[in-house]
Structure 1
Amino acid sequence: MSWRLIDNEESDIYRNLALEESLARTNAGAVDKTNTVRFWKSEPSVVLGRFQCVHEEVNIEFCRNNDISIARRFTGGGTVFHDEGNLNISFCLDQSESCVSRTLRELYWNFIGTLAKGLRSIGIGASYDPNRSCIRINGRKITGTAGWLKQGVSFIHGTLLLSANLETLRRALSPPPNQPVYLRDGRSIRCKESKKDVVTTIAKEFDSPPNEDEIKQAIIDSIATFTGAEIVKDNFTQKEEAMANSLYHTRYKRTKWNLGTLSESKSRK
């Protein structure tokens, strides 16, 4: 049994998020699903969860003044920060596999927990926190996760803070009062708020941490041990690329999707 590994160099956050959704939706309902692990990185950006409001999560002016893209993914969960010091990891999984759960809680336990085991195997003292579905080092959070379950596919993805700029992260994710209000889906509806936590990076917690390639290999080895699969490097299919291209233009490059519709009401207090 083999699983596909995709480790591409795309850095456009909107293109990357289109590829994420395409990967999940192309496999959902397909007769022959492809179990996939993906490593990816993006330019400096903040990524909102599907059901969040930008003015409640992001310092919009700071992001615009510092060339930090604002994007929205197709999965739920809270807002996260991306830069070159952040490694993103995705799993697109066939629910017919014995190791693949159909509940997010068990998926996180199994696969994010497996990431933590991989980190520990190279001397990084990481532990999985089932209450927040994240990995911690010295009690501080280094991952954020979100997921999607549909038509026989379990899809989860998350961040791993290797050496991200924590000061930029803090400022980008600190919304000031009196920001313009943006309506999600064009109407005033309740937004899901991010759960606040203390974050850190692997680089901050260790004087001589393993490099990125060593971390990736440790993760691959840990996944292979857990699943019993051979992890083989490959690429997106033509069908996945085509759907991603469509989503990129019709959804992810559109202000209405990423920010919402600017409200005529008063600014956020």
Structure 2
Amino acid sequence: MKLRYTETDCTNPFINLATEEYMTFRAAEGEVTMYLWQNANTVVIGKNQNPWRECRVESMREGDCKLARRISGGEAVYHDLGNLNFTFIAREDEYDIPKQTEVILEAVRLLGINAEKTGRNDLTIDGMKFSGHAYYQSNGYCYHHGTIMFNVDPTPLGEYLNVSASKLKSKGVKSVRSRITNLINHKPDVTLEELKKALYDAFAKVYGGEVERFDIPTAESDPELKALIDKYSSEEWRFGRKIPFTTSISERLDWGGVDVELQVEGGVIKDCGIFSDSLETEVFGVLKEKLIGCKYSKSAMATLVESALPYAPNSKEYQICCDIINLIAEGIM
């Protein structure tokens, strides 16, 4: 197995997220890449989230805080230069989430801090979160990325993020700030360079091999990367398309929160928006296509579950679709 490592001093989220996707779809068989990067004063939302619900957009504009959208699922996160982002990139055969997670845990241990994994995608110290993770897979190309908070300013979390009471309740905490911690709180003299070195050493240790460093491509050298940067910085990608909805549904379920907006005309669903912080990604777009043009009736929703869903009945995607369709059906008079 070939181990590759790169980092960037660029702090522009649109360039960094574009570079992440660019490298993901160029991953070679038999190699694993670790990419380290930082964003300055940025809120990054999951692929299927509604920025107007998740963020205080006007406050972000006043504070010169950028809004970015990634292609992975999950919840909105705040990035500043007290946070280090990591991405593991690999083809499906080499993609190993537990092993990749162990690299982060081992790096923190090398700094002298005891950390553990809790839940599906959080790493904690003394029960407080310092690292959240999200995942992406498409046609055998995969990435696993996340944050490592070593000295994040917690103030903007309350200024820029809207976190529902139901989400906090599901995690058993009173506020976002009460459930996070910085590495500096447990090792006051930790530096960014020490953290990067610990990650490099942990990568080599956990995978048991030599790590080759390489340089990141630039937009000037590759028009395909330039096109991705244009996508990530566009208003259409970041904010999405608003629809004149007539029905709105919000609920928090065991797989995450969901907001559904429906434009119903003449008893038919003419348009639809589905927003979620679920770690699943593609299922929401698939369901949206099935709903548009469907009759807005309980019998039509039942038929959709019985015959039109393209997922196996025991799959997570099928459960998500059924849950959302049932929510819609419950609201039909």
Provide TM-score, normalisation by structure 2: 0.65
Once the 2 structures are TM-superposed, how far is the Cα of residue 241 of structure 1 from its aligned partner?
A: 4.5
Q: What does 1:115-130 correspond to in 2, within 5 Å?
A: 115-129=104-118
Question: For residue 84 of structure 1, what is the aligned residue in structure 2?
Answer: 81
> Which of structures 1 and 2 has the bigger CA Rg?
2
CA distance, structure 2, for counterparts of residue 49 and residue 14 of structure 1 = 14
Once the 2 structures are TM-superposed, how far is the Cα of residue 77 of structure 1 from its aligned partner?
A: 1.2
CA distance, structure 2, for counterparts of residue 238 and residue 15 of structure 1 = 9
The 4+ residue runs of structure 1 with deviation greater than 6 A are: none
Question: For residue 257 of structure 2, what is the aligned residue in structure 1?
Answer: none
Aligned: 1:36 with 2:33: yes
Give the count of matched residue pairs. 238
Contact persistence 2:47–2:72 (CA under 8 A): yes
Aligned: 1:75 with 2:83: no
| Partner residue of 1:173 out of 139, 161, 164 | 161
Which gives a bigger RCO, structure 1 or 2 (Cα 8 Å, sep 6+)? 1
1:125/1:209 CA distance change after superposition, 3 Å: farther
Query: RMSD in angstroms over aligned alpha carbons?
Result: 2.6
CA distance, structure 1, for counterparts of residue 136 and residue 190 of structure 2 = 31
Identical-pair percentage = 26
Question: For residue 215 of structure 2, what is the aligned residue in structure 1?
Answer: 235
Once the 2 structures are TM-superposed, how far is the Cα of residue 207 of structure 1 from its aligned partner?
A: 5.5
SS state of the match for residue 26, structure 2? helix
Once the 2 structures are TM-superposed, how far is the Cα of residue 58 of structure 1 from its aligned partner?
A: 0.6
Q: What does 1:125-204 correspond to in 2, within 5 Å?
A: 125-129=114-118, 131-174=119-162, 198-203=179-184
Contact persistence 2:121–2:134 (CA under 8 A): no
Gaps of 5+ in 1: 102-106, 177-192
Question: For residue 202 of structure 2, what is the aligned residue in structure 1?
Answer: 222
Higher helix content, 1 or 2? 2
CA distance, structure 2, for counterparts of residue 212 and residue 175 of structure 1 = 29
Gaps of 5+ in 2: 251-333
Residue-by-residue CA offset, 1:138-193 (whole Å, 9 max, x unaligned): 211111211112333331110111111101122211269xxxxxxxxxxxxxxxx8
1:207/1:247 CA distance change after superposition, 3 Å: closer
CA distance, structure 1, for counterparts of residue 53 and residue 136 of structure 2 = 23
Contact persistence 1:5–1:37 (CA under 8 A): yes
Contact persistence 1:202–1:209 (CA under 8 A): no
CA distance, structure 2, for counterparts of residue 214 and residue 258 of structure 1 = 33
Question: For residue 24 of structure 2, what is the aligned residue in structure 1?
Answer: 24
Q: What does 1:105-124 correspond to in 2, within 5 Å?
A: 107=97, 109-124=98-113
